[in-house]
Amino acid sequence: MARYTGPVCKLCRREGVKLFLKGEKCLTNCTLERRNTRPGQHGGSRQRKLSGYGAQLREKQKIRRTYGVLERQFRRHYNEALRRPGRTGENLLQILEMRLDNLVYRLGFADSRAQARQLVSHGHFEVNGRKTDIPSFVAKPGDVITVRERSKSLEYFKTRALQLSQKAVPGWLSLDIANMSGRVLSLPSRTDLELPFEEQMVVEYYQVR
């Protein structure tokens, strides 16, 4: 499975905003706050004003990097969003939020989406009682994500269970700490997500290509 393995702080510096790719570590030890320049030899030079296409590209890259999705998979998610009724940009965010790795992160079982992706790939979760180790699996309302019984005895999940009461879970999800499981109550609305993205620019980016 292809994935980005380079330094993630460079991605935040490139986009000029916190993408929270390291989870809570980004709140206390953020490279962007110490070095708010683009990476590379000419990162400190004055940046030219972006064209319309450049702004659309940067917005697409910001969303793609936040969710840890490579280009080909991101395009597949966009095509699926295009087929669904409603606003394509909002559909795209819903699909990304309903990915299994993102749900594991949102439920508090991991500190970052990258960590959640690793936990899913290692087979620690079930969806509706069936082992699912595909991070890109897209869940539906009503689906239940559970830590596998054999994984609950691991030290990581024992510690995580003690921390879950301090985690805030979005209103479109529910968390059962005792059973180490979560349920998808509904698709998230755009107001539920509170994400600093302009997803319509992504739609415009793909429309002109």
Higher pLDDT, 193 or 184: 184
The model's pTM: 0.81
pLDDT, residue 41, reads 46
When pLDDT is averaged across residues 14-40 and rounded to a whole number, the result is 55
pLDDT of residue 24: 59
Residue 171, domain member (yes or no): yes
pLDDT at 1: 45
Q: What is the pLDDT of residue 119?
A: 97
Same domain, 65 and 144: no
> φ, ψ for residue 138 (rounded to 5)?
-100, 115
Residue 1: inside a domain: no
- Token digits of residue 48: 């030219």
Residue 58 belongs to some domain of the structure: yes
- The pLDDT tens digits for 107-149 are 999 999 999 999 999 999 999 999 999 999 999 999 999 999 9
**Amino acid (one-letter) located at 100:** L
Distances (CA, A) of 105 to 7, 68, 108, 162, 170: 20, 12, 5, 16, 11
CB atoms within 10 A of CB 11: 19
Contact 157, 167 (CB under 8 A): no
Average pLDDT score over the chain: 85
105 and 174 inside one domain: yes
SS3 of 75-91: HHHHHHHHHCCCCHHHH
Report the Cα 136 to chain-centroid distance in Å. 11
- What confidence tens digit (pLDDT) does each residue in 138-157 have? 999 999 999 999 999 999 99
> Residue 118, class by beta-carbon neighbours within 10 Å (0-12 exposed, 13-18 middle, 19+ buried)?
middle
- My answer on whether 81 and 105 are in the same domain is no
User: What does the pLDDT look like over 75-99, one tens digit per residue?
Assistant: 999 999 999 999 999 999 999 999 9
What range does the domain containing 40 cover?
Answer: 8-96+194-207
